[in-house]
């Protein structure tokens, strides 16, 4: 992921709660959110607003002024501003890459060498490689990931499994890339060199990679002959209705090259948008500046007459990101309240005295990373907070800092896309068109990493002492 960093400190909490009270608040919070999303099938916005209102009532009961709680909401929301601006740029990128033919061209040539056999495994491998190259799971998912979703829809394959493969690969690449901000953040948080941290992550990444690859391979079906004929019809429509050209791949190459040179996200995405716009103007003489502006804001709309293809390629635009933006702001606002009310700090501080063994301290770190992801919905905080909270315990047990850094990535970085109201989960649902609850069971690499960290802690495999 690429976004701005923001730090909430445990000592900033206005209230000091007992562990049972903090757990009780969380239990009510989860009940409200789970009832709304799972039982009533609501969009996450309303349940989270209800949870925020509950926290306001609880804070007032604890005699905390409304002004402090309102400031906590703003502080929480500020932590997501970097991601929100990037959401807008990616929304424009997707729409103009549709109009310029970049994503249709990737789909067109992809049909020639990717079949239903091993499709999920190939999807996992390609997205992992691209994620490793550019260091951004969100950009990987929003570009090549969208193309894979289109191919899966054309071949009548499971969109949930395809999304799981895309997300598994993208976050594996992001986790292991020296260009990734979360990878750099984890190494900086505990004071370990970047490449030492990346090398040490192989202890859990390699098993997670091979297990995921094997599962995706065996889940991949063969495409029936009837579907192949339909794909041939679809490629003909792509040729007639979209800009299929090797030149349409230039924006993709530019974004990849700039990411490899570690150019920051907004300039990189801007270059991808501008280059695609130039190609769209060249290839579509009827395109005007006003029409281009409409595409960038409202998204690209294909009217080919083939309903399935139209639904695949009609997407993107700033407007399409509004669901994600509103969801992220609400989730982070809730996180800000949870900090100000002392709920998360109380739980993290309460467990520290019981961490008397390697297995216990690693288990606590995994639990904390996963919990912060689900409670706050923010990827950076799931690395920062447990890192600072447990760093001294790792030192007391004689563990090298790189052990903590690896656990932070296993339980923090790759878990955020599994959270329906998390920054990554909301974004991925929007760009891939598959809900978090649908793809989460198939995001095998993301599910395996916390488990492999726990196994490492109990077995002592990959644990390094000073």
More confident residue, 11 or 465: 465
Higher pLDDT, 10 or 445: 445
- Residue 463 vs residue 92, higher pLDDT: 92
Share of the chain above pLDDT 90, in %: 38
Q: How many other β-carbons are positioned within 10 Å of the β-carbon of residue 2?
A: 24
pLDDT digits 0-9 by tens, 213-269? 999 999 988 655 445 566 777 788 888 988 999 999 999 899 888 877 878 778 988
SS3 299: coil
Position 259 scores a pLDDT of 74
CA angle (120, 125, 130) in 5-degree steps: 125
DSSP H helical segments within 377-443, as ranges? Answer: 379-396, 401-408, 423-432, 436-439
Residue 373 DSSP code: H
Distance CA 441, CA 360 (A): 27
- Where do runs of H (alpha helix) occur along 242-378? 250-260, 265-283, 289-298, 307-313, 322-340, 343-350, 358-376
Handedness of CA 324, 329, 335, 337 (dihedral sign): negative
Whole-number pLDDT of residue 2: 43
Which three-class secondary structure state does DSSP give residue 465?
A: strand
Torsion, Cα of 289, 293, 294, 297 (10° steps): 170
3-class DSSP state of 431: helix
Are 166 and 123 spatial neighbours (Cβ–Cβ below 8 Å)?
Answer: yes
The label of the residue with tokens 């990679």 reads: 209
Interval 192-212 mean pLDDT = 91
Q: Report the C-alpha gap between 277 and 153 in whole angstroms.
A: 27
**CA-to-CA separations, 191 to 129, 329, 357, 400, in angstroms, rounded:** 27, 31, 22, 10
Whole-angstrom Cα distance, residue 318 to residue 264?
20
What is the model's pLDDT at position 283?
92
- 204: its two tokens: 């859990």
Residues 6 or more apart in contact with residue 422 via CB below 8 angstroms: 331, 373, 374, 377, 378, 379, 416
146-196 pLDDT, tens digit per residue, is 888 988 888 888 999 999 999 999 999 889 887 677 887 788 778 888 888
Tokens of 319: 């407007």
pLDDT score recorded for residue 62: 92
pLDDT in tens, 281-336: 999 999 999 999 999 999 999 988 887 788 778 888 999 888 878 877 887 788 88
How far does Cα 222 stand from its chain's mean position?
Answer: 29
Mean pLDDT estimate for the chain: 85
How far apart (Å, rounded) are the C-alpha atoms in residues 130 and 169? 9
304: number of CA atoms within 13 Å, CB side? 23
Length of the chain: 466
The per-residue pLDDT for range 338-367, each reduced to its tens digit, is: 888 988 788 777 777 677 788 999 999 999
Q: What's residue 8's pLDDT? A: 54
Angle (CA) 202 205 206, round 5°: 75
Q: What is the pTM of this model?
A: 0.77
Closest CA to 7 of 138, 158, 188, 243: 188
Q: Which long-range contacts (CB under 8 A, 24 or more apart) does 30-36 make?
A: 33/421
d(CA 370, CA 183): 17
pLDDT 10s digits, 98-114: 999 998 888 888 777 77
List CB contacts of 277: < 8 A, sequence separation 6 or more. Answer: 96, 100, 292
């Amino acid at each position: 992921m690429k976004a701005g960093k923001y730090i909430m400190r445990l000592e900033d909490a206005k209230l000091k709660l007992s562990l049972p009270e903090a757990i009780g608040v969380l239990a009510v919070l989860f009940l409200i959110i789970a009832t709304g999303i799972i039982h009533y099938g609501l969009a996450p916005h309303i349940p989270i607003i209800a949870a925020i209102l509950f926290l306001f009532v609880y804070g007032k009961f604890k005699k905390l002024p409304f002004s402090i709680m309102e400031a906590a909401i703003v502080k929480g929301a500020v932590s997501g501003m970097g991601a929100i601006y990037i959401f807008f740029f990616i929304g424009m990128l997707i729409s103009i890459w549709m109009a310029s033919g970049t994503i249709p061209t990737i789909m067109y040539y992809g049909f020639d060498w990717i079949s239903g056999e091993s499709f999920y495994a190939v999807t996992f491998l390609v997205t992992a490689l691209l994620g490793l190259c550019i260091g951004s799971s969100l950009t990987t998912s929003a570009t090549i990931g969208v193309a894979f979703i289109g191919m899966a829809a054309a071949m009548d394959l499971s969109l949930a499994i395809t999304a799981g493969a895309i997300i598994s690969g993208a976050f594996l690449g992001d986790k292991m890339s020296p260009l990734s901000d979360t990878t750099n953040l984890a190494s900086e948080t505990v004071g370990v060199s970047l490449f030492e941290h990346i090398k040490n992550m192989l202890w859990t990444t390699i098993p997670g990679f091979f297990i995921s690859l094997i599962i995706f391979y065996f889940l991949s079906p063969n495409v029936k002959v009837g579907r192949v004929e339909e794909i041939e019809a679809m490629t003909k429509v792509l040729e007639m209705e979209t800009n299929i050209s090797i030149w349409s791949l230039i924006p993709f190459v530019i974004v990849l090259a700039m990411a490899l040179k570690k150019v920051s996200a907004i300039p990189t995405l801007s270059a991808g948008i501008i280059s695609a716009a130039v190609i769209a103007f060249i290839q579509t003489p009827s395109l005007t500046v006003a029409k281009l502006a409409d595409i960038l804001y409202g998204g690209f709309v294909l009217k080919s007459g083939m309903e399935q293809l139209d639904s695949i390629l009609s997407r993107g635009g700033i407007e399409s990101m509004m669901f994600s933006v509103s969801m992220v702001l609400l989730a982070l606002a809730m996180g800000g309240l949870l900090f100000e009310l002392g709920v998360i700090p109380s739980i993290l501080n309460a467990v520290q005295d019981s961490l008397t063994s390697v297995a216990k301290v690693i288990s606590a770190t995994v639990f904390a990373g996963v919990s912060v992801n689900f409670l706050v919905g923010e990827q950076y905080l799931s690395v920062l907070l447990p890192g600072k909270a447990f760093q001294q315990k790792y030192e007391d047990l004689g563990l090298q800092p790189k052990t903590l850094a690896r656990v932070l990535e296993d339980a923090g970085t790759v878990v955020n896309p599994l959270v329906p109201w998390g920054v990554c989960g909301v974004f991925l649902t929007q760009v891939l068109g598959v809900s978090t609850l649908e793809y989460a069971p198939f995001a095998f690499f993301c599910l395996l990493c916390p488990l492999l960290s726990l196994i490492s802690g109990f077995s002592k495999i990959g644990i390094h002492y000073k």
